[in-house]
Chain A
Amino acid sequence: MRMSRFNIVSLVFGIAFLYLPILIVMIYSFNASKLVTVWGGFSTQWYRGLLANKPLMDAAFVSLRVALASALGATIIGTMAALALRRHRRFVGRGLFAFMLFVPLVLPEIMTGLSLLLLFVALDWDRGFWTITLAHMAFTTSFVAFIVDARLADLDPSYEEAARDLGASPLSAFMRVTLPMILPAIAAGCLLAFTLSLDDLVIASFTSGPGATTLPMRLYGQMRLGVTPEINAASTVLIVSVTLIVIVVAWLTRRHRQA
């Protein structure tokens, strides 16, 4: 099928609109000059500056730990929630369960952040690393559940039934038949939770305390002061790492589809 000229223009325009701004940030991270519009030659000095910027590196480390811990927790609870919803057609409060699980997907971050902070205040918990982690778990659980639920919906239950008929215990049938089949979705959900946590500014700002500053919080503080090559360099590092994660996810799900 040949594409019309209009369609080609739309494609080129749309893709350029999406990529040019990010590409410019990446290109200017190698700019020797501090100015936004002046190209002063190629330089990697800003990347070296990043490594020497202790507050930024500390924040990156906090973000990584939060993302890792919250993604693991969210994956476990989100997978359980998706299983509960798909496997058990009737239980008391199933409607409420589904509501509580999927509303956070569309709730503005600022509301999630505010409400979770108020919870931590009411419980009188010290705010810091663990409150951010719990808050991130709270909002990413829904995303994991959403992805795993979609996979479970396509899954033919007769495989597990066959295993049961052949004498497997419910646990063994699940672990040896169903779990391997939904594993790519669980992994994709886990990585999504990880990147969402890594990226979050608003919820972390509400739920963090002294001593726990995440990378987006640190970057945001600097961005408000203006565009600097150092932020460009930090952004480039983040963009490249997240893109690599996405490629892994795409590869995981693709391999699964071909299998």
Chain B
Amino acid sequence: MKIRPVILIPFLWLALFFLVPLTIVVRLAFSESAQARPPYRPAFAWAEGWPVWLEKAKSLSLGNFEAMLEETLYIDALLSSAGLAATGTALVLLIAYPLAYAIARAPRDRRVLLLTLVVVPFWTSFLIRIYAWIALLKPEGLINYALKSFGLIDAPLPLFGNHLAIVIGIAYSYLPFMVLPLYATLEKLDWSLEEAARDLGATRLRAFWRVTFPQTLRGLIVGILLVFVPALGEFIIPDLLGGSDTLMIGKVMWSEFFGNRDWPMAAALAMLLLCLLAIPLVILRMLEDRRETA
């Protein structure tokens, strides 16, 4: 077979910059940290070759993973990441569904404009979008200032440096990821079905819930995954909006790496995160396969 450069060049590129780094992460996760540069003692040296690796595999350093189980910090971080990502996703859904629905029901010539309006902020810097919320949520920030000047509150509400701020940050950053797949399914719907339900005496809400909503489940699931997966590994949001004591796995990884210089621990956490992320991705893949065969 002829070797085609159009295949070979990207293949080698992807192998070097995706596969090899990932292998190194796995290798490092089983290594011990050391006071050196780089700060770890590798479990496998490249030069040793397979036979030695197999021998070593039997006496692998599972220390990082054992520490992960013993130290409640990591488990807590994982659970709280999942909880925050899930709450954030729920809030995204609450805002995104009515929005996507309204865009789908807007006059045809307005829809592209409205959709563009939703997507444009997604292009502006992620960092800046999170930063914008600092000015709003801080105790001396604009929301508290406005509430105070209207006489609605006496003391500033605790909006910043806690879980609430993180959830708002997630909802704000990932809104388009939910709106787009929802809109894609809503746009294709046959609205006469909902009208038929109305004609047959269903209330507006009931017609929506029993007829329209079930037809949008696929877009809903895709949207949930597109928001939940990146939110789970989020670093910038908890770091800038959450308090110093917020536990999210991305932030713990960052501080293990830059703060404690425990690279093997950071790698082990990365592997754990990857395994967790694989679950929703496999679900998405299965859904896609089902759609293709259907």
Interfacial residues, chain A to chain B (CB-CB below 8 A): 1, 3-4, 6-8, 10-11, 13-15, 17-19, 21-22, 24-25, 28, 36-37, 77-78, 80-81, 83-84, 87-88, 91, 93, 97, 100-101, 103-104, 106-111, 114-116, 118-119, 121-122, 134, 137-138, 141, 145, 195, 198-199, 201-202, 205-206, 216, 219-220, 223-224, 226-227, 231, 235, 238-239, 242-243, 245-246, 250
Known: A24-B135, A110-B270, A114-B270. A84 touches B125 (CB 8 A): no
A108 to B13, CA, bound (A): 20
- For residue B34, CB closer than 8 A to chain A, the reply is no
Interface pair A18/B135, CB less than 8 Å apart: no
- For residue B65, CB closer than 8 A to chain A, the reply is no
A118 to B141, CA, bound (A): 40
Interface pair A25/B95, CB less than 8 Å apart: no
- For B281, the closest partner residue in chain A by CB is A106
- For residue B78, CB closer than 8 A to chain A, the reply is no
Known: A87-B6, A106-B230. A118 touches B125 (CB 8 A): no
Interface pair A114/B105, CB less than 8 Å apart: no
B-chain residues with CB within 8 Å of residue A205 when the two chains form the complex: 258
Interface size on B, residues (CB 8 A): 80
Interface pair A238/B128, CB less than 8 Å apart: yes
Interface pair A223/B7, CB less than 8 Å apart: no
Interface pair B233/A238, CB less than 8 Å apart: no
A18 to B239, CA, bound (A): 21
Interface pair A141/B13, CB less than 8 Å apart: yes
A87 to B6, CA, bound (A): 10
Interface pair A19/B233, CB less than 8 Å apart: no
A-chain residues with CB within 8 Å of residue B259 when the two chains form the complex: none
Interface pair B118/A111, CB less than 8 Å apart: no
A6 to B102, CA, bound (A): 8
A-chain residues with CB within 8 Å of residue B10 when the two chains form the complex: 77-78, 80-81, 84, 97, 101, 141, 145
A250 to B38, CA, bound (A): 45
- For B240, the closest partner residue in chain A by CB is A223
* 4 closest residue pairs by CB, A with B: A108-B233, A10-B98, A115-B21, A14-B99
- For residue B11, CB closer than 8 A to chain A, the reply is yes
Interface pair A10/B22, CB less than 8 Å apart: no
Q: Can you list, as one digit per residue, whether each of B256-294 has a CB less than 8 Å from chain A (1) or not (0)?
A: 011000010011001001100100010000000000000
- For A6, the closest partner residue in chain B by CB is B98
Interface pair B124/A115, CB less than 8 Å apart: no
Q: Which of B17, B107, B114, B121 contacts A134 (CB 8 A)?
A: B17
Of the candidates A10, A118, A122, A223, the one having the most CB atoms from chain B within 10 angstroms of its own CB is A118
A-chain residues with CB within 8 Å of residue B254 when the two chains form the complex: 110
Q: Which of B11, B21, B131, B274 contacts A119 (CB 8 A)?
A: B21
B-chain residues with CB within 8 Å of residue A6 when the two chains form the complex: 98, 102
- For B15, the closest partner residue in chain A by CB is A100
Q: Which of A28, A141, A220 contacts B135 (CB 8 A)?
A: A28
A-chain residues with CB within 8 Å of residue B236 when the two chains form the complex: 201-202, 220
A107 to B276, CA, bound (A): 12
Interface pair A7/B253, CB less than 8 Å apart: no
Interface pair A36/B98, CB less than 8 Å apart: no
- For A234, the closest partner residue in chain B by CB is B128
Q: How far is the CB of A164 from chain B (nearest CB, A)?
A: 16
- For residue B73, CB closer than 8 A to chain A, the reply is no
Known: A80-B6, A239-B125. A21 touches B136 (CB 8 A): yes
A226 to B133, CA, bound (A): 11
A109 to B24, CA, bound (A): 17
Name 21 A/B residue pairs within 8 A (Cβ), A-sorted. A7-B98, A7-B105, A17-B175, A25-B135, A84-B4, A91-B4, A91-B7, A101-B14, A108-B232, A108-B273, A110-B250, A111-B273, A115-B21, A118-B21, A118-B267, A121-B38, A138-B17, A206-B257, A227-B134, A246-B120, A250-B116
Q: Which of A14, A22, A25 contacts B118 (CB 8 A)?
A: A14
- For residue B224, CB closer than 8 A to chain A, the reply is no
A216 to B129, CA, bound (A): 12
A206 to B145, CA, bound (A): 38
A238 to B125, CA, bound (A): 8
B-chain residues with CB within 8 Å of residue A238 when the two chains form the complex: 124-125, 128
Of the candidates A1, A22, A145, the one having the most CB atoms from chain B within 10 angstroms of its own CB is A22
Of the candidates A8, A13, A103, the one having the most CB atoms from chain B within 10 angstroms of its own CB is A103
Q: How far is the CB of A8 from chain B (nearest CB, A)?
A: 7
- For A226, the closest partner residue in chain B by CB is B134
A-chain residues with CB within 8 Å of residue B17 when the two chains form the complex: 116, 119, 134, 137-138
7 new A-B contacts at CB < 8 Å, known A84-B4, A114-B270, A118-B267: A3-B107, A18-B172, A104-B18, A116-B17, A202-B235, A220-B236, A227-B138
Known: A101-B14, A199-B126. A83 touches B24 (CB 8 A): no
Interface pair B101/A21, CB less than 8 Å apart: no
Q: Which of B9, B98, B142, B239 contacts A14 (CB 8 A)?
A: B98
A111 to B269, CA, bound (A): 10
CB within 8 Å of A: which of B1-54? 1, 4, 6-7, 9-11, 13-22, 24-25, 28, 38
